[in-house]
Amino acid sequence: MKKIYSFKNISSIRKAHPKKKICLSFGTFDQIDFSTFNHLQTARKQCDLLVLLVAETTTSQHYQKLSPQQIEKKAQMLSELGFVDAVVIYPFEDAVKAIQALKPQILVRHSSYRSPQSDFRGYLKAEEEALREFHGKIVYTEDPFQESSNNNILNWHSTQIQAIKRGKQELRHYSLESFFEKMAKTRVLIVGEPIVDTYVFCETEGISSKSPSISARYRSEENYPGGSLAIARHLSALGCQVTLFIPYGGESYFKQLLHNTVSPSINIETYLVPNTATPRKTRYLVSLKSQRIFELTQLEDNLWKHHSPEGFIKKMESLNEQHDLVLLSDFGHGLFEGPVLKAANKMRNFKGINVQTNSSNFGFNPFTKHHKYNYLSLDERECRMASHDRLTPICDLAEQTVQKLVKTSCAVTLGQAGSAYFDSQKTKYFCPGFFKEVIDTVGAGDAYFALTTLLHYHKARPFLIPYLGNCFAGLKTRILGNKEAVSQESLSKFISYLSRSVS
């Protein structure tokens, strides 16, 4: 039996097997992990033929369309699985047309789709109606690994259980669906340094024979869009109308990175600063465990030392007037200094800011340099730097910092412990974290900042801001670097999973 089909030839599968019980599974199949493998094997046990619909998109960059070569490669890989009988390259966003052409007895879905909350696009409902015409049904498979694993969630402590119950209750009054609808109408401007996150994968071989240094064998490397680029990708994946305004050095590799990894739905406005390197952070990792052994940075601390910022300021002010809100992502790499900082402080639009303290700007980039904003997101170290306090317990220090130094609503992220949101009246809303182990924390704060700024802007119920922010940032920690953005679907499925995990 031929195993790979185009959609045009899908009906030939049913014609060749008119009496066979067919099971259909639809997805991007970006990763064949334990969960996906178990899902497909469970489906195959319920039918005579298992047919996979492979989407012509990937979840990696906001459902970006793949090239024909990439799709063929993915289909070929799936066709090699012994329990898969046919693979169909599928151009549509739901399975309705495939159901009509193939007339399967079963459409198999993961149990995370069981909740109506997960079907915010209405695809499942349409698929169920199409199945009824042929007396078919949807079967949901369970994931024993996910349900019992200690690596992710479950085994909640009482604070987490209370938070999930409260989040579940409040989402009845402010649903994700309504939030996503608002996001689709929101024009967001992001201004900040782009950062190229280069990951070099190695295998350590021991200590060098001629010096006390680690010797490692090079295996491969990848470039990911970080900094303000990552924030733009997250908000685009959530459905916002995004414009990103960035300075850069004009490097050809950077232009290629933008072309390869940033969705065309993001409007990128660039400002060339000649003879200046675009910020780049190269991390050397042990391949199998993704443990970092060394980091090298290429940065320009004083971006405007040899260049006038007047053109940049003029463009920033013009773009600001064309959008509903602006997110200033200050990584402390020379952009928001001098006249640019003064101009940013004068902008009257709704303004959310994130001012990062890192090893390259330690002590020189406190959030207090920004004077006018509507929302601020910071972490423990940024809190301590601004308050000049390294000993007070962070929960106490966060409240003290907000009371003394923050001018409006604010969120303080606390790592695995969770986060706290303070409204304009300085009332505190704390929510614990839900992920016990992470793959990579790079970009988690940026993800939290992106989502919570929009939640605050759209007047979400206060507790939902840290609750959804923690979920979104937690999902980001399951991704190496900024390789992928966290999508609407991922967030919806995880919230649905949390809701099912408590009574």
The chain-wide mean pLDDT, for the chain, equals 88
154: pLDDT strictly greater than 50: no
Question: Mind listing the pLDDT tens digit for each residue in 373-402?
Answer: 999 999 999 999 899 998 999 889 999 999
- The residues that bridge with 21 in the sheet, in sequence order, are none
Give the Cβ contact number of residue 501 at 10 Å: 16
Question: Mind listing the pLDDT tens digit for each residue in 264-300?
Answer: 999 999 999 999 999 999 999 886 556 788 899 998 8
Spell out the residues 6+ positions from residue 37 whose beta carbon is closer than 8 angstroms to its own.
none
Helix (H, G, I), strand (E, B) or coil at 20: coil
Residue 150: what pLDDT? 35
The amino acid present at 330, given as its one-letter code, is: D
Architecture of the domain made up of 4-148? 3-Layer(aba) Sandwich (3.40)
Instruction: Read off the tokens for 412.
Output: 């303080």
Once rounded to an integer, what is the mean pLDDT over residues 116-129? Answer: 70
Residue 61: what pLDDT? 37
230: pLDDT strictly greater than 80: yes
254: pLDDT strictly greater than 50: yes
Nearest to 335 by CA among 191, 142, 439, 225: 191
Q: Measured between alpha carbons, how far is 448 from 376 in angstroms, rounded to an integer?
A: 11
Spell out the residues 6+ positions from residue 381 whose beta carbon is closer than 8 angstroms to its own.
357
261: pLDDT strictly greater than 70: yes
30: pLDDT strictly greater than 60: yes
Distances (CA, A) of 207 to 113, 218, 227, 375: 50, 15, 34, 48
Instruction: Read off the tokens for 151.
Output: 């690596």
Residue 48: what pLDDT? 93
- The residues that bridge with 203 in the sheet, in sequence order, are 217
Helix (H, G, I), strand (E, B) or coil at 486: coil
Chain centre distance of CA 484: 6
- Model's pTM, two decimal places? 0.72
Match domain 160-178+375-503 to its CATH number in 3.40.1190.20, 3.30.565.10, 3.40.50.970, 3.40.47.40.
3.40.1190.20
Q: Quick one: CA dihedral 140, 141, 146, 147, positive or negative?
A: positive
Residue 241: what pLDDT? 97
Q: Measured between alpha carbons, how far is 478 from 474 in angstroms, rounded to an integer?
A: 7
Instruction: Read off the tokens for 375.
Output: 């929302």
Q: Which of 78-92, 175-189, 316-330 has the least mean pLDDT?
A: 78-92
Instruction: List the chain domain ranges.
Output: 4-148, 160-178+375-503
Once rounded to an integer, what is the mean pLDDT over residues 348-375? Answer: 91
Residue 149: what pLDDT? 37
Strands (E), 14-105: 22-27, 49-55, 57-58, 64-65, 86-90
Q: Which of 115-119, 174-178, 446-450, 464-468 has the least mean pLDDT?
A: 115-119
Q: Measured between alpha carbons, how far is 189 from 400 in angstroms, rounded to an integer?
A: 31
Q: Which of 28-42, 284-298, 380-394, 473-487 has the least mean pLDDT?
A: 28-42
Q: Measured between alpha carbons, how far is 413 from 403 in angstroms, rounded to an integer?
A: 16
372: pLDDT strictly greater than 80: yes
**Tokens 């900040």 belong to residue:** 192
SS3 content of the chain, % helix, strand, coil (to 5): 40, 25, 35
Residue 198: what pLDDT? 95
pLDDT-derived band of residue 39, with 50, 70 and 90 as boundaries?
confident
pLDDT-derived band of residue 157, with 50, 70 and 90 as boundaries?
confident
Once rounded to an integer, what is the mean pLDDT over residues 475-490? Answer: 88
Residue 69: what pLDDT? 75
- The residues that bridge with 459 in the sheet, in sequence order, are none
Once rounded to an integer, what is the mean pLDDT over residues 64-92? Answer: 82
Residue 57: what pLDDT? 62
Residue 349: what pLDDT? 92
152: pLDDT strictly greater than 50: no
- With a pLDDT cut of 90, the percent of the chain lying above it is 59
Once rounded to an integer, what is the mean pLDDT over residues 306-320? Answer: 95
Q: Measured between alpha carbons, how far is 1 from 13 in angstroms, rounded to an integer?
A: 9
Residue 289: what pLDDT? 57
Residue 122: what pLDDT? 65
Buried b (16+ CB within 10 A) or exposed e, 384-402: bbbbeeeeeebeebbeebb
33: pLDDT strictly greater than 70: no
Helices (H), 154-215: 158-170, 176-184
